[in-house]
Amino acid sequence: MSAFNLVMLGPPGAGKGTQAARFAAARGIPKISTGDILREAVKSGTELGLRAKAVMDRGELVSDEMMIGIVEQRLGRPDAASGFILDGFPRTVAQAQALDGIMRGRAPLLVVDIQVPDAELVRRLTSRLICSGCGANAPEGLLAGTPEAATALCAKCGGVFIQRADDNEAVVRERLRVYERNTRPLVEYYRARPTFCAIDGAQTADRVASSVASAVDRASVAASVGPGGGVR
């Protein structure tokens, strides 16, 4: 299949990170998560981390200027030249417009929107765990507050599982409000493109993964066929 670049859209807790990681591994392209980049910066105490931490802890968005700079630099690295998956970016229309600019002259941008009802998102986010060492998601079914979670170790690095600082209910609700206000308009920004696909995210991770794979295949075909029907 020809090269492409993928954006995973969807509210917090929709499964973007999980699906992006699976898809990236299956297709051999890097997953670029702006949330992971920021959490890494917080952990290592860099200037970016110090500036981002308070904003993240409140569930608000880091500035467009800072995020666009981070992503532009990351997409310029050689491993992203033959395709990438973005998870958590863009989150505002200004970021999406900047991404369109960065994408000029590169392979087509496919957009997959993972849709999940709010009540399910709150349930998922307040019970999810990540590895304190490498940041990977805990295995499906390992939930915060259970005895199993207290003793389980990450299969990748041996780290213990913890809740994200922004996964408590008050911050989760703020993140969902921020999503509605700033990020939902992106669905409209992309919807009319032939390379946009919506997916039902309220299914098992395996089913969502196969929906993502077939949506990407359909969108890649649409991307190689111009709007007028001719193959580009």
- Rounded CA-CA distance 116/41 in Å is 29
Nearer to ligand AMP, 91 or 211 (CB): 91
Angle between helices 47-58 and 34-43 (to 10 degrees): 120
| Minimum separation from the CB atom of position 91 to ligand AMP (A) | 4
Nearer to ligand AMP, 86 or 212 (CB): 86
Q: Based on the shown chain and the rule CB under 6 A, indicate whether residue 88 belongs to the binding site for ligand AMP.
A: yes
**Binder of ligand AMP out of 10, 11, 35, 83 (CB under 6 A):** 35
Whole-number Cα distances in Å, 167 to 12, 120, 174: 10, 14, 10
Within 10 angstroms of residue 78's Cβ, the number of other Cβ atoms is 6
> Is position 218 annotated as part of the catalytic site?
no
* Residue spans of alpha helices (H) in 59-183: 64-75, 93-102, 118-127, 147-151, 169-178
- Rounded CA-CA distance 63/52 in Å is 9
> Is position 16 annotated as part of the catalytic site?
yes
Q: Could you tell me how many residues of this chain bind ligand AMP (CB under 6 A)? A: 17
| Interface with ligand AMP in residues 149-208 (CB under 6 A) | 166, 175
> Is position 164 annotated as part of the catalytic site?
yes
> Is position 175 annotated as part of the catalytic site?
yes
| Catalytic choice (16, 22, 31, 53) | 16
| Catalytic choice (31, 39, 91, 124) | 91
Q: Is the peptide bond before 90 cis (omega within 30 degrees of 0)?
A: yes
**Binder of ligand AMP out of 4, 89, 161, 190 (CB under 6 A):** 89
Q: Based on the shown chain and the rule CB under 6 A, indicate whether residue 91 belongs to the binding site for ligand AMP.
A: yes
Show the tokens assigned to 95.
């970021």
Nearer to ligand AMP, 83 or 135 (CB): 135
Specify whether the CB–CB gap between 35 and 134 falls below 8 A: no
Specify whether the CB–CB gap between 9 and 116 falls below 8 A: no
The contact pattern for ligand AMP, residues 46-75, with x = CB under 6 A and - = no contact, is ---------xx--xxxx----x--------
Footprint of ligand AMP on this chain (CB under 6 A)?
A: 12, 34-35, 38, 55-56, 59-62, 67, 88-89, 91, 95, 166, 175
Catalytic annotation, residues: 16, 91, 128, 164, 175
